[in-house]
A = this chain, B = another copy of it.
Amino acid sequence: MSDIEIAQQANMLPVFDLAQKKLGIQADDLDSYGRFKAKVSLQVLQQRAQKPDGKLILVTAISPTPAGEGKTTTTIGLSDGLNRIGKKAIVCIREPSMGPCFGMKGGAAGGGHAQVVPMEDINLHFTGDFHAIASAHNLLAAMIDNHIHHGNALQLDTRKVTWQRVMDMNDRALREVTVGLGGPANGFSRTDHFDIVVASEVMAIFCLSGSLSELKQRLGEILIGYSFDGTPRFARELQAHGAMAALLKEALKPNLVQTLENNLAFVHGGPFANIAHGCNSVIATRMALKLGDYVVTEAGFGADLGAEKFINIKCRKAGLKPDMAVVVATVRALKYHGGMALDQLGMLDTHALQRGLENLKRHVNNLQQAFKLPCVVAINHFDQDQDDEIAQVEQAVLEMGAKVVLARHWAEGGKGAETLAQAVVDTLENHAHATCQFLYPDDQPLWEKIQTVAKKLYGAEQVIADSKVMKKLKKFAEKYDHLPVCMAKTPYSFGSDPTMRGVPQPHQLAVRDVRLSHGAGFVVVLCGDIMTMPGLPKNPAAERIDIDDRGVIQGLF
């Protein structure tokens, strides 16, 4: 059965009732969006300010193959597993981006028997958060061009407007555009770009803000461009942040849905994991920690990007501390990292597997040594996996000093993740106090922060950047040396070249550009090409998506 078929057969319960019964949220603090989606009032956080937090479990992964290794699936399966062994666990994941549903990727709400539902709604529009983020983003863009049109009091240089436009669609034709054509009534023409909504800085800000007032303040701090004399200009100078925050009023309330096994899940916010930090909202995570004893969350891509930013950006800014990590690995991806071709991963090759295990080892070492985070490795089971292969992975992980568990949640749901759940509980009980630490202190200079991440985590021998980049970085350092760095590189390798599998050695990291996300509060470090507006493939999924007279959707897989 396809994911959508499994999802459509789910026995969903009204989320309004589940939230009251399982989490003790009062009816007044819940806004239903249909029967199976709800938003939770931020009051819930204030009411429970004194309550101790639950345990925070980060699900991360080895360097993935293009198909992904099942991080979201494992996050959901683990939470279902924890609930099955009697623990009060809550999922905290990102909202999927709608655009890619019409391309190649299909939905992004888990898979197999480890999904959050209603799957179609979560993938299409959901509760409208991304539309609200797009509106806030594009309102600022309209106000910028309007300001220039009506006299340009801020003397904005149209060549140096850094704020682009966004749309939640895979639309390559919008990557580079000229706006303001057609004569004086349509403003001044200039080059512009559209990003997909998840790449918007408003998305990153939304996910890093702990309250409506922090959100508004950060929106005001957005850098929109530079005036003719080089002065940086900000959204607050256009008085845009009040209206932008008003547009985000409802969106900021975390969304509550359920897993296929009727356990609760927050699905809220979804920034890119390259030019942004790739984690669900701080507000959802904080709320889940007040409502559950165990919170299972994930971060985008492999641990080199996802876990690093989760800790160094999200946790640093929000004052959170993860208690442990689950590292998802698949036999297939390990063999891929050992050098096998994508279309041969079903075949047996113990040497390739052994070589590929080096990738897992570096991630586990990074988490355990660089971040002091206890680890359990979850082998996400695929039908083709051979017992010998699994034994080989288990043996290798034990030698790394970490626990390892085979997880069958994709095929079996929470039942298939009970062993993993038990391993997680055992690990947490052996580590009563979280010892997780940041990789670098705030006061380390920006350039050194980049070097620290590249050398300690990626194993790079050297970081290089041309003089133009270094000059820009020096300029940022004058005022923003205290900010964390947000590394934007390929997820497929520890290096910046996606074809360097396993553990590339020796390698150097080339920084091609740096950008300031002033409102979000980090410096983006671009290593390699980062696509912020995807395109559709020759035969897009949109052609197969359909709906019948009863409203049943098909083709959204």
Contacts and interface: CB of A to CB of B under 8 A. Distances in A.
Interface of A: 31-35, 39, 98, 102, 120-121, 124-125, 128, 131-132, 135, 138-139, 141-143, 145-146, 149-151, 167-182, 185-187, 191-192, 211-213, 216, 238-240, 242-243, 245-247, 249-250, 535-538, 540-547, 549, 551, 553, 555-556
A146 B173 CA distance: 8
A179 to B, nearest CB: 4
Contacts of A180: 172-173, 176
Nearest to A542: B243
Contact of A135 (B98, B141, B142, B239): B98
A234 to B, nearest CB: 14
A172 B187 contact: yes
Contact of A177 (B142, B181, B249): B181
Given A176-B182, A545-B242, A540 B171 contact: no
Contacts of A135: 98, 125, 131, 168-169
Given A211-B549, A246-B547, A171 B145 contact: yes
8 contacts: A102-B142, A120-B249, A128-B128, A138-B167, A146-B535, A167-B167, A175-B182, A246-B545
Given A139-B169, A142-B170, A146-B536, A242 B178 contact: no
A178 B175 contact: no
A142 B149 CA distance: 29
A179 B533 CA distance: 13
A134 to B, nearest CB: 8
A249 B146 contact: no
Contact of A546 (B139, B242, B536): B242
Contact of A141 (B151, B171, B549): B171
A356 to B, nearest CB: 31
A42 to B, nearest CB: 8
Secondary structure class of chain A's binding surface, majority of residues? mixed
A245 B536 CA distance: 19
Contacts of A541: 243
A186 B176 contact: yes
A249 B211 contact: no
Contacts of A178: 177-178, 181
Contacts of A553: 246, 249
A524 B32 CA distance: 40
Contacts of A216: 547
A543 B238 contact: yes
Identify the interface centre among A172, A182, A240: most chain B CB within 10 Å of its CB: A172
A256 B186 CA distance: 38
Contacts of A545: 242-243, 246
A245 B546 CA distance: 7
